Structure 1
Amino acid sequence: MHIDLTGRTALVTGSTQGIGAAIATGLARAGARVGINGRTKERVDAAIAKIGARVPGCDLVAVAADVTTEEGARAAADALPRVDVLVNNLGIFGSADPLEITDAEWRRYFEVNVLAAVRLIRQFLPGMAERGWGRVQNIASDSAVAIPAEMIHYGVSKTALLSVTRGFAKQAAGTGVTVNSVIAGPTHTGGVEDFVYELVDRELPWDEAQREFMRLHRPQSLLQRLIEPEEIANMVVYLASDQASATTGGALRVDGGYVDSILP
C-alpha cells in the first residue's frame, strides 16, 4: 500500500521523543508537513534535527508550546493555523498506590491526558470540516480497557479519551473528517524503561528486565515483548491516509494482543 500525504499538514503533540517522534517521522516520510511539538524550543529544535536526518528533505515546523494550557494551545494554532491531521499523542503516566493518589494528581492526569486533546480538537476540527477532509487521532492505551492496579489514574484518563474520540466522531459525522483512537500496548520508550525499572530489579540488564516485566506485570501480551514506537506509528500513518476514509469512531489496537477481546 502506497500512502502519500503530500500537501497535508500534521500536528503531533509531544513529538520530541518516543512514540510521538516515531509518529512524526512516519508522517514526514509519507510526505506530510509535520509540526513538531514540545514545551521548549531547545527540545523541539533537537527533535527536528534528528527527524530531518532520518527523512532528508522533509518539511518540519517548530511548535514550541505547552498544549496542556489554553495559552499553549493558542500558540500551537498560531504556529500551524491549518492542520489536516491532528495526533494527540501527549500524555503522562506513572505508577502509584491507588489510595495515595491525591485530588491534585487526579486533576493533573485529566488536564494533560484528556483536556489537552479536547482543546486542540475544538481548535482544529471546524477547519477540517469546512474543507471536507481531516484526520483526528488520539493515542490511547491498553490501560484504558485493562486498567492496571498500579496505574488507575492513568487508565481512567485513557478510558475518558476513548469516549472523547467516539463523541467527536459523531460531531464530525458526514464532514469527511475521521476521528479515531489508537490503543497502544506496552511500548519500548525511554520513559517506559524507567517505569519497568520501578517494578523490577534495577540490577538486571535491559533485555532481562523487559522479559521479567512482561512476565510479571503484562502476562496477557501475545507478543511477549515491548512494542517498538515505529509499530504504533505505522497505524497512525495509515489512519491519516485517504485509504482509511471509512474508519472513524473506532479504537484500533496496536497492543500486541494485550487486550483479551475479539473486537478491535
Structure 2
Amino acid sequence: MDKKILILTDCDGTLLSDDYNFSEFTIETTREIYEKGHLLIPITARTLKNLKNISNQLNLEELNGIIAANNGAQIYDFKNKKFILNSVLNKQIIQNVFNMYYKPKSDQKEDKVNFTSENYVYSFGHSENTLKWSSIMEQENCVISSPDEIKEEITSISIITKKGTTIQEFETKLKKINELFGSDYKIDAYHNRVISIAPKNIDKGYAAKLIIEYLKPKEYITYGFGDSYNDISLFNSVDNPIAMLNGIDELKEISKDTTKFDNTQDGVCRYLKDNKII
C-alpha cells in the first residue's frame, strides 16, 4: 500500500488568507485530503481556543483531525478527544521575567512583555499591536502590576524590544535571556525585535516529531508549509519542506521548493493539487 501524506502547515501567512479566513478552495481541498486517507494538521502560534474555533471552518473536528497550537505547546486530537501534549510555563519564570521588566509608569519607553494564556494577554500596558492580535486571537488584554494578577496558566512569554533597538542591542538582550533561562526554557527570536520564552523543547519541529510518533504504526510522507522564522524548526523535521512564495528568504534557503502562489491565492492547496501530491 502506498504511504499516505501528512501535511503540517502554518496558518497565518500560509494556509489562511490575509482576512484570517480559509478560502472555499482550501476548505474543499482539506475535506478531499481526509477522504483520501491523508492528513492536514494546522501547526501555529495561535492559541488552542482560537485554533479550535477557526478549525471549524475546515471541519477538522468532524474529520477527526489533529491541531497544534502555541507553536506546538498544545497538540489536540479531535478523534480521541485528548491532548497529545499540553505544556505550560511554571510560575518561577513568570515571576523572574516580571521582576526583570516591570517598571512603574515612566516617560521613557521600555521593552514590552506579554504573558499569553488561553483567554488573556497579560501585559504592563495597552499597545495597538497587542490589542489587535489579542482581538484576533479572541483574548482579552489585561494590564497587570503584579504577577499575582495572572489567573490562567501561561503558554508563552514575549519580550518586545522598544522601537529603535539596534540589531547589536537586540542580540545583547537575547544573549542575556539565553544565559539566564536557556538551559530550562525554549528561547526564540523573531524579526530582530521579539524574544519568545516557551516551555523546554517546544517549537513546531518538536511538535511535528511528536505527531509523527503518535500516528505510528502508520507511516506518512511528510510535507511542511510555512512563511516565517517559527517555521524553520518545522522544516527541519519533515521530508518535504515547502516555503510560501510570500515567505522569508531564510526559509526558502532551507526548503525543497517554493509555492508558485502566496497565501492569498491558495498557495498551499494549489501546490498540493498542481504537483499531484493528493
Query: TM-score with structure 1 length normalisation?
Result: 0.39
Structure number having the greater helix percentage: 1
Higher strand share: 2
| TM-score, length-scaled by structure 2 | 0.37
